[in-house]
Amino acid sequence: MFTQAGCYYCQFSDPAWVRILQEFDNRPLVSLAWHVWWPGQTPAADPYYYGIHTLVPGPFSVIDERVGYYAVNGAPSLIFDGGGPGSGVGLWGYTGTGIDIPFIYDDYKAKAVQQVADTTTVSIALTGDLRSADATVRATITAVDPVTQTNLHYRLVVYEDDIYFLGSNGIQVQTRVVRDVIADEPISLSMGTTDIRTHTFALGPSWDLNALGVVAFVQTDNTVVNSWGNYNGEILQAAGLRFVEPSVLVVRDDDQNPADYEEFFDADLSQTGYNYHMYNTLEAGDVGANDLKATPTAPDLAAHGAVIWSTGSETTNTLNAAERSLIAGYLDNGARSLLVTGENIGEEVYGTGAGQDPVWYRNYLHTERLGNYAQTTIVGVASDPISDQFKAPDSLSIVGTSHDRLLIPVSQQPISSVAFNYGGGTAQAAIRAQHDTNSRVVYMAHNFFEGGDADKEIVMQRILEWLDCAASPATTVTGPSPGTVFAPGEAVPITWNSVDVYVPPWGVSIEYTTNSASPVWTSIASGQPNDGVYTWTAPAVLSDAVRFRITADDGCPTTISIPALGAPDITIADVHDLPLTPTIGLGRLASFRVDLLYSDPATLFADALGEVTRVRWYDPTDALNPWKTWTPSAGGDLTAIDNTMGFWVESSGTVTVSILGAEDPSTDIALHRGWNLVGYPSLTPGYTVQNLKTVTGATRVEGYDATAGPYYLRVLPPTYTLRAGEGYWVYVPNDTVWTVAG
C-alpha cells in the first residue's frame, strides 16, 4: 500500500484496508504501508517518509526506490503480489479519487480472497529474535515447485504497527508503517533447493519494540509495463513475523450494519503504549456495507492479558449466554483482566426473565442495575485511581440514550468501587472490581469510547494501568526441551510465554544455573523485550543440570514479579564419538579425550551395551589387585573412567560410543613409579613419544597393535605421534605428573 497521512483520498482507502488486515489476520496475507511524500513536502505532512534513509526526498530513499520500481504516480495505490505476472492491472487495488469506503473494501476483499487462494512455487518460513538494541531474522526459502521466473530478489522490510499520528486527512492510526529495508539482494531458486538468509539489524531509537514486525518476500525484477503505465514485478511469495504479540484484545461485539469504519478504540489505544489486536474475522456475509462479527474462542482470549469487550449501542444479544460463559472462563483461569463497555447490557442481562442472568451480572460485572439513566456526561470520583482527574467540576461526555444506572450491592462492596458517576448527581455509571487475587474488572455501563471526548485516551490509559496492576505477568518457560544437549559455543534458543496487560520493551530478564538442585543464578540478559525468544551462546561449562529462570516485569509498582523456572534440565557438553569394531584377544586399547560429564561405565557405554563385553583398566596404586574390570552383565570393580585413563575394551560388533564431555585447556595425569595405562586427552598436533619421555622421564612407551598377539602391544619409537582416543602403557622410574595441553 502506497499511502500518505496528508493524502485526501487515503482517508477512504486506508480504513477499508485496515478492515481487510483485521479479517485476514489468521490467513496468509501480509502487508506493508509505504508512506510517500506527495502531496505535502514537509516532515509534518508525513514523518514516515522522512527519516527512513534520507531526511529529504531523493533517489536514495527506500521509499523512492519502491515508488520508482512500480512507477507509482498517485496515492493511495494498493498492489497485490507486486501486480502479478504480465501486463494486467487486475492486482492493482482501487485507487484514485474514490470516496466510497464500502465499494473500496469490496474491491480489496475480492482481490485478497483471490490471492490468498492462489498457489505458489516458493515457501518462506521466518523466525526472529528481538533484543534490546537489535534483531535477527532468519528466512528459510524453499522452491517447492519449478521456478520459471528469473532475476529474483529477496527483500526484508521492518515495519511498525499502529502508530498514532493525526494526519491532515483525519486518519489517526498508521498501520504497518515501513521503517526500513533490511535486505535487498539477489537470490537463485530451483525446484527442491532451500536458501537460508539471516540478517541482524539495529533498531531505530524511536521505534516501539512491542509493535515491530518484518515482512520478507521474493520478487522478480523483470518488471513489465502494465496497461496503466505502471510496472508489475511479480512477488512469488511473502511471509510476515510480528516479534511481540499484542497484549490487549479488543472485541467489538456489535455487528455493524452499516459498517462504520471508525477508529474508536484504535485511536485511544495507540496513544497509550499498550499494544492491541482488533478482533475481527472474515464471515460469509461480510461486504463493504456490513461487518459481521464472530465470537472469539477461549484460546483467543487466553492469549491476552486484558480483553476490552464493547457492545456499543446494541439493544439485543449484547452479552448472550455463550459470551457470558466465555468471559467467566477467561476471568476465572489465570491472571487476566477485563473492560466491559456498552449501554443496554444491564437492561438485557440483569433481570429474571428468559435469557437473563442476574447472578452472572453480579458475580462478573460486580454490580446490580437500578434502571435506565439519561445523561450526557460522567464525572470522576475523588481519589479513584482511574477517574480522580475528572472529578467535579470536570466531566466527560458520553453518547447514547439508554445507559444503565448501577448500584454496588452489599455482597460486592468489599471488592467493588465506583469509578464514575453520571453527571449532576451520584448515580453510578461505572465500577471497578478486584474479581479475584489476580484479575480485575472495569464495567462502564454507557458509551464513552464511541464518543468524541478529548480525554478518551487518558481514561483508557488509566483503566489499563489499573488492570495491569492486578498481578505480575504469568510467565512460562517453554524451551529448550528437557534433556536437550548443547555444545559449548552452540546457539541455545530460550523460549517463553509471558502474558500480562503490559510488559514493557525492557521488561524481561533471563538467568541460568548449572546446578538446578542448589542453584546460583547467573544473568544471561536483562532489559529485553517480551518476544518469547532469546538466542544464547552456551558457555564453556560441563553440566547436565542447566536450568533457566525468566522474570517478566510489568512496570507496576504494586506487583511483585515472580520468576518462572524452566522445565527439567538441559545439558551443556560436547558430544564425542569413540568408534569400535569387533576385537580379538585382549580387545582394543582406547581412551576418552574430553573431560567426561559422566564417569560410570554403564552410562559411558550405554550406546553399546549389546556390543561391548568387557572394559579393563590398570590401577598402579593398587599393588594387590591392579586390574579393574567392568562388564555389562555383572558390573565390577571398575566403577569410574576419566580422560586420564587408557583402557582395554572388548567389542563383539561395530558400534559408535557417543559420550558427553568438554574440552579441557590442559589435563594433569598422575604417573606412578612403574607401569601406567593412560590416555592422551589432546588435539595438539605433532606431540611425539619423545616429547612425552622428555617431560616425564619415561623410559618406555607401548601402544596397541592388532597384529601383535597375544598382548597386542608394540614399543613405540620416539618419533611416533600420540593421538586422542588411543591408550598407552607408560613406564616411569619415579612418580611424576604429565601435563597434557588440550
Indicate if the pLDDT at residue 602 is higher than 90. yes
39 has a pLDDT exceeding 80 = no
Q: Can you tell me the distance from the alpha carbon of 66 to that of 161, in angstroms, rounded to the nearest whole number? A: 20
Check: CB of residue 477 under 8 Å from CB of residue 443: no
The SS3 assignment for 11 reads: helix
Asked if 488 and 574 count as a contact pair (C-beta separation under 8 A), the reply is yes
CA distance 108 to 80: 9
Give the pLDDT score at 621. 97
What is the CB neighbour count within 10 angstroms for residue 633?
A: 8
Q: Does 27 or 601 have the greater pLDDT score?
A: 601
- 44: number of Cβ within 10 Å: 11
**Confidence (pLDDT) at 40:** 60
Q: Which residue has the cell 461526555?
A: 397
Tens digit of pLDDT for each residue in 535-559? Answer: 999 999 999 999 999 999 998 988 8
What is the rounded distance in angstroms from the CA atom of residue 269 to the CA atom of residue 313? 20
CA–CA separation, 26 vs 437, rounded Å?
A: 33
Band the pLDDT of 42: cuts 50, 70, 90: low
Taking CA atoms, 238 is separated from 75, 116, 154, 173, 684, in Å, by 23, 11, 10, 24, 49
- Between CA 79 and CA 228 the distance in angstroms is 13
pLDDT band at 255 (very low <50, low <70, confident <90, very high): low
- CA separation, residue 691 to residues 313, 701, 719, 735 (Å): 91, 11, 9, 17
Residue reference for cell 500480562: 500
DSSP designation for 94? P
In the block, residue with C-alpha cell 515501513? 178
pLDDT above 60: residue 56: no
pTM recorded for the entire structure: 0.90
d(CA 124, CA 113): 20
Tallying the residues shown for the chain, one arrives at 742
Continuous H helices in 421-500 = 456-468
Task: Provide the grid cell at 125.
Answer: 518460513
In degrees to the nearest 10, what's the CA dihedral of 40, 44, 47, 51? 90
pLDDT at residue 53 above 60?
no
The set of cell numbers assigned to 678 is 593412560
Of 516, 554, 362, nearest to 443 (Cα)?
Answer: 362
Cα separation, 166 vs 171, in Å, equals 6
pLDDT at 50: 65
Indicate the pLDDT class of residue 59, thresholds 50, 70 and 90: very low
pLDDT tens figures, 313-348: 888 889 999 999 999 999 999 999 999 999 999 999
pLDDT at 163 over 70: yes
**Strand 485-486 relative to strand 570-572, pairing:** parallel
Say what the pLDDT of residue 95 is. 66
* Rg of the chain on CA atoms, in Å: 35
Cα torsion angle, 443, 444, 449, 453, sign = negative
Q: pLDDT at residue 573 above 50?
A: yes
- Helix 10-23 to helix 101-117 angle (10° resolution) is 40
**What domains does the chain contain, in order, with CATH numbers?**
2-242 (2.60.40.10), 248-468 (3.40.50.880), 474-572 (2.60.40.10), 575-741 (no CATH)
Task: Please state whether the peptide bond connecting residue 258 to the residue before it is cis, i.e. omega within 30 degrees of 0.
Answer: yes
Residue type at 347?
E
